[in-house]
Amino acid sequence: MNDISYLKPAIRLSIVNPEADSGSVLGRGVAELCQGVRDTGSLNAAAKGMHMAYSKAWRIVKDTEKALGFQLLNRDGAHGSTLTEEGMALLEAYAKVNAEVQAYAEERLTHYLG
């Protein structure tokens, strides 16, 4: 058998509101948008950093906020955007859980591949 120990799992964590009718979730893309807003103070800058149209980013955030049942961003028109308290808490929790699950998956895959 060839050495395949270089392989790594790719985990895709999503956070959902089980009571929402929408299929929208907070996943890697929305988390990346939120990180961009946190870092730049602007949804437009965050979208550009992801090579995404602002209108698409706006729609994704609005759909996700509706599905989650709370706002992720405080919008201040031409002055940019910031994460809400809930948005920041969720982003931080998402990042921690994602890192922990990724580390666990890597450890288990290494274990099973020998």
> Length of the chain in residues, anyone?
114
- Encode pLDDT of 38-90 as tens digits: 999 999 999 999 999 999 999 999 999 999 999 999 998 778 999 999 999 99
Counting beta carbons within 10 angstroms of the beta carbon of residue 57, is it exposed (0 to 12), middle (13 to 18) or buried (19 or more)?
buried
Above 80 in pLDDT, residue 113? yes
**β-bridge partners, 82:** 74
Q: How far apart are CA 9 and CA 23, in angstroms?
A: 25
Task: Return the percentage of the chain with pLDDT > 90, whole number.
Answer: 83
Question: Would you say 46 and 87 are in contact if contact means Cβ atoms under 8 Å apart?
Answer: no
Q: How far apart are CA 105 and CA 114, in angstroms?
A: 14
Query: The tokens 């895959």 sit on which residue?
Result: 109
Position with higher pLDDT, 51 vs 22: 51
Task: Read off the pTM.
Answer: 0.90
